[in-house]
A and B are shown apart, each in its own frame.
Chain A
Amino acid sequence: MELSPDETVFWSHGFIQINLTIVTTWVLMLAMVLSSWLITRKLKADIKITRWQCILEMIVTGMNSQIKGIGLNKPEKFIGYIGTLFLFIAISNLCIIFPGYEAPTGSLSTTVALAMSVFLAVPFFGIVETGILGYLKTYIQPTFIMLPFNIISELTRTLALAVRLFGNIMSGGMIISILLSIAPLIFPVLMTILGLITGIVQAYIFGILATVYIAAATNEHKAIKLVKNNK
């Protein structure tokens, strides 16, 4: 029994290996980009807009308000990364309704990749927003004694992100495949519905956590400044 779509390999040449995860990701990427392009190529700035544009605007503004709610005051800077993260995970999880589909997020490689991107994005945004020193100072907050713990937390939370998503999606897929062999009627459908909810929740959690980490990295500097000014 295959636990991961990584194991379905289409073509390999030494280290290079084109497996189901990568192919599915490409297909999803293509679908997302194409649909976005199709909708946004004839955007209207009028008061009356198309329904598709309205849906996209709702999604985008919804994400914007969420990012803003967490504490990033300029969400348009971060929506590109955080929004894509959420949409990619959400869509790959929602596509389980298609028979024979295997979510790329069910592969530990994908979740690790996403977690690593978060791991890299946090210092990236932190440095962009507050400078290298500003970012590095966040490691010795509140005192320098916390430095090792901060470093450990940085690593462990990345690991936790990867494993949480992988575990949830993989387990969902596993349960469905097991249930198909035990009770092929009705129960797989219910589990699929449950899987859809889990998928959305996981996408939301992943996105929110990434936002929180980035916000922590960018706002720490501001918080220090505020404390100093008050003193």
Chain B
Amino acid sequence: MKINWFTVIAQVINFLILVWLMKRYLYKPILNAIDEREKKIAAELANAETQKAEAAKEQAELKQKNEQFEQAKKGLMDKAVNDTNEERKKLMEEARNDADALRSKQEDSLKAMQENLNQEIVKKTQDEVFSISRKVLAELASVSLEQESTNLFIKRLNELKDDEKKKFIDAFKADPNPVLVQSAFVLPAQQQTDIQKSVKDILGGETQFKFSVSPGIISGIELSANGFKVAWSISEYLNSLERSINETIKEKAKPEAEKKTDAGKKAETETEVGLAAKEVPVKTEEPVAKAVPEKETEAKAEPQKK
């Protein structure tokens, strides 16, 4: 168990060489590699962290953008829906208005048509009534009736008021033509004389007379001198009746027209038109029915009084 000092020295040197070699070939490269790898891993981790952060940021941005997009979409959708609704309302309103206008136009034209028809009917009825009246009266007219008519005419002449007489005299003086006496039938000589006498009483002095026959008078006598006219005839009564009926119709038509512009409802106008259509003939019938007998009684009553 001796210590070999050469071996000791040699082993010390060997060991120092080994230390240097191991440092050179083992520790340094390994430690460097470890450091490098650690750095690399750290860098990669940092990179990953950065990328993660970036990804998160991008995700947030994307989310935000998405939200914005959603909001914009919703807004646009809402707007579109609102616009559509408004447009629909507008179109509906327009369509309704158009329909209303068209309907009212149709109603108007219908009413106008009905009115025309009514008027026509009224006119026709009137004409018919008058023609019937005329025909009846003309058929009834006779010489004896003429006698009564002449009497009534003479009575009217005598009953002329002073200013009317004056007008008659003025008219007669202004025109030298003979006084025209028209009648439905040829007047008998007696009657002609009576008339001449009455006229002469009014006018005084010589007067020329001209007697003529006019069937349109139906029954009665008409005296005319330069625009002045004295007459008694059934035709005159009928004419005045016709005038009054026409006036009544016109008066009736006015409020109807006013109502038409106010009311848009069909039913109302319909009933009114119907009423008018019904009323008018009733009204026209009544005066005719009444007038005719009145004339007759008047015509008949007068001679009785005499």
Contact = CB atoms under 8 A, between A and B. Distances in A.
Contact of A16 (B6, B8, B22): B6
A68 B10 CA distance: 31
B22 A84 contact: yes
Contacts of A168: none
Nearest to B18: A29
Interface stretch (A54-62, A140-148, A223-231): A54-62
B237 interface: no
Interface string A87-125: 110000000000000001001111011101100000000
B174 to A, nearest CB: 145
Contact of A29 (B21, B29, B31, B40): B21
Given A25-B11, A110-B11, A43 B29 contact: yes
Given A40-B30, A107-B7, A45 B37 contact: yes
B3 A108 contact: yes
A109 B3 contact: yes
Given A17-B4, A113-B8, A40 B34 contact: no
Contact of B17 (A21, A29, A116): A29
B25 A6 contact: no
A130 interface: no
B6 A17 contact: yes
B69 interface: no
B4 A114 contact: no
Contact of B23 (A6, A19, A57, A80): A80
Interface residues of B, number: 35
Contacts of A53: 30, 33
A129 interface: no
A222 to B, nearest CB: 24
B19 A84 contact: yes
A57 to B, nearest CB: 6
Interface of A: 3-4, 6, 15-17, 19, 21-22, 25-26, 29, 32-33, 36-37, 40, 43-47, 49, 53, 56-57, 60-61, 76, 79-81, 83-85, 87-88, 104, 107-110, 112-114, 116-117
30 contacts: A3-B1, A4-B2, A16-B6, A19-B4, A19-B7, A21-B7, A22-B7, A25-B14, A29-B17, A29-B18, A32-B26, A43-B33, A45-B33, A45-B37, A47-B40, A47-B44, A53-B33, A57-B33, A60-B31, A61-B34, A76-B27, A80-B23, A81-B19, A84-B23, A108-B3, A109-B4, A112-B8, A113-B7, A113-B10, A114-B15
Given A45-B33, A79-B27, A88 B15 contact: yes
A29 B14 contact: yes
A113 B19 contact: no
Contacts of B34: 57, 60-61
A53 B19 CA distance: 20
A32 B16 contact: no
A26 B14 CA distance: 8
Given A21-B7, A43-B30, A117 B18 contact: no
B24 to A, nearest CB: 8
B275 interface: no
Contact of B21 (A19, A33, A44, A112): A33
A45 B40 contact: yes
Contacts of B22: 32-33, 36, 80, 83-84, 87
B12 interface: yes
Contacts of B21: 29, 32-33, 36
B9 interface: yes
B26 A47 contact: no
- Chain A CB within 10 A, most for which of B1, B2, B15, B40: B15
A109 B14 contact: no
A37 B31 contact: no
Given A57-B34, A60-B26, A109 B8 contact: yes
B247 interface: no
Given A36-B21, A36-B25, A40-B30, 19 more contacts: A4-B2, A21-B7, A22-B7, A32-B26, A36-B22, A40-B29, A43-B33, A45-B37, A56-B30, A57-B33, A60-B34, A79-B27, A80-B19, A84-B23, A107-B4, A108-B3, A109-B3, A109-B11, A117-B12
B32 to A, nearest CB: 8
